[in-house]
């Protein structure tokens, strides 16, 4: 029973991490129909900023980190994507790869390609015992942060004027403009939120691994896109649900696969994802097609 609960906590933690990453890419996809693979580099930059600001008290360092990554995200939109806003999806996708490669190589140029150790506050690596379960503080941080972020996003999208405008832009961008929504402002905020989400992921991820490399953003962003796809493209609730589903599948595979097959965990995980998409090609939480009353 304890082992099962331990796996459950691991699955929730991983699901939370994927959900945060998926929400970040899902928000930009919703507003701009851009599959922004450069979001992986936002995660990587977040970790390098943690590495650089490790001399500061962690609350200050992490707050600055969030602001800086949000700024980088907004700058990529301004420099790379704004002029392509009316381009087709494939052009945007290629542009996002270009931004991703550029940022990755910029970091390689400055810091080299080898991994660097990130000094972390002492509490991060501690564990606490709850009903016989050993739960790492970083896992609790992940779960708590995800709950807070999800609640904050629900309130933002339901109550805030900007949230309403972002939902409108996600549904019909042209019409949103024609009711007075400032397109540049909405897209810039979508990127800023995406940057903040990526930075949360980078803080949580780096708190687990204590290292940073220029390619560290690739794996979480791949999982994030898988989560967005199985959750239902363009649906933020779906993105979060997809993140949890991918997290649970990954941990389940880790639990059930024999040691000889465990190196192929990801292959089994993605097979399960493909199976889900065969049965639910529209995603688990597809946008409801609403019928007119007659």
| Nearer of residues 122 and 290 to other proteins, judged by Cβ | 290
Do 242 and 227 meet the contact criterion of CB atoms below 8 Å apart? yes
In the numeric block, which tokens belong to residue 241? Answer: 């649900």
Binding region for other proteins (CB under 8 A) out of 29-37, 95-103, 164-172, 277-285: 164-172
CB of 163 to other proteins, least distance (A): 10
Burial profile 106-128: b = 16 or more Cβ within 10 angstroms, e = fewer: ebeeeeeeeeeebebeeebeeee
CB of 99 to other proteins, least distance (A): 25
- Residues β-bridged to residue 21: none
Residue 260 phi/psi, 5-degree rounding, is -70, -25
Figure out which of the listed residues 44, 176, 197, 285 binds other proteins, where binding follows CB under 8 A: 176
CB of 18 to other proteins, least distance (A): 24
* Sequence-distant (≥ 6) Cβ neighbours of residue 238 within 8 angstroms: 26, 228, 231, 232, 283, 284, 285, 286
- CA angle, residues 270, 193, 138, in degrees to nearest 5: 60
Smallest CA-to-CA distance from 72 within 95, 94, 97, 40 is with 40
Our finding on whether 88 is near other proteins (CB under 8 A) is: no
Figure out which of the listed residues 89, 119, 126, 171 binds other proteins, where binding follows CB under 8 A: 171
Our finding on whether 175 is near other proteins (CB under 8 A) is: yes
CB of 165 to other proteins, least distance (A): 7
Contact track, other proteins, 18-37, x by CB under 8 A? --------------------
| Nearer of residues 182 and 208 to other proteins, judged by Cβ | 182
Our finding on whether 188 is near other proteins (CB under 8 A) is: no
Figure out which of the listed residues 110, 161, 258, 279 binds other proteins, where binding follows CB under 8 A: 161
CB of 291 to other proteins, least distance (A): 8
Distance CA 81, CA 38 (A): 11
Task: Write out the E strands in the chain.
Answer: 116-117, 127-130, 133-136, 211-212
Distance CA 74, CA 192 (A): 6
Our finding on whether 165 is near other proteins (CB under 8 A) is: yes
| Nearer of residues 86 and 114 to other proteins, judged by Cβ | 86
Distance CA 25, CA 19 (A): 10
Our finding on whether 290 is near other proteins (CB under 8 A) is: yes
Figure out which of the listed residues 84, 115, 118, 168 binds other proteins, where binding follows CB under 8 A: 168
CB of 175 to other proteins, least distance (A): 4
Our finding on whether 265 is near other proteins (CB under 8 A) is: no
Distance CA 59, CA 65 (A): 10
Local structure of 182: helix, strand or coil = coil
Interface residues with other proteins (CB under 8 A) are 161, 164-165, 167-168, 171-172, 174-183, 287-288, 290-294
């Amino acid at each position: 029973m304890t082992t099962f609960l331990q796996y459950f906590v691991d699955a929730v933690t991983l699901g939370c991490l994927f959900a945060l990453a998926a929400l970040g890419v899902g928000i930009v996809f919703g507003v701009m129909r851009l599959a922004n693979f450069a979001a992986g580099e936002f995660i990587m930059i977040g970790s390098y900023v943690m590495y650089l600001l490790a001399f500061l008290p962690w609350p200050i360092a992490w707050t600055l980190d969030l602001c800086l990554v949000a700024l980088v995200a907004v700058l990529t939109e301004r420099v790379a994507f704004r002029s392509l806003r009316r381009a087709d999806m494939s052009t945007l996708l290629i542009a996002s790869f270009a931004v991703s490669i550029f940022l990755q190589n910029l970091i390689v140029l400055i810091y080299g390609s080898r991994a660097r150790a990130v000094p972390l506050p002492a509490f991060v690596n501690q564990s606490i015992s709850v009903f016989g379960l050993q739960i790492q503080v970083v896992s609790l941080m992940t779960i708590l942060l995800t709950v807070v972020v999800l609640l904050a996003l629900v309130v933002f999208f339901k109550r805030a004027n900007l949230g309403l405008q972002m939902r409108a832009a996600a549904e019909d961008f042209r019409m949103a403009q024609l009711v007075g929504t400032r397109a540049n402002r909405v897209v810039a905020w979508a990127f800023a939120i995406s940057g903040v989400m990526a930075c949360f992921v980078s803080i949580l991820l780096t708190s687990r691994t204590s290292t940073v490399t220029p390619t560290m953003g690739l794996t979480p962003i791949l999982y994030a896109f898988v989560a967005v796809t199985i959750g239902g493209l363009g649906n933020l609730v779906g993105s979060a649900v997809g993140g949890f589903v991918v997290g649970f599948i990954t941990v389940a595979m880790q639990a059930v696969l024999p040691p000889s097959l465990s190196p192929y965990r990801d292959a089994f995980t993605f097979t399960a994802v493909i199976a889900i998409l065969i049965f639910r090609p529209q995603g688990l939480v597809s946008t409801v097609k609403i019928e007119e009353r007659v």
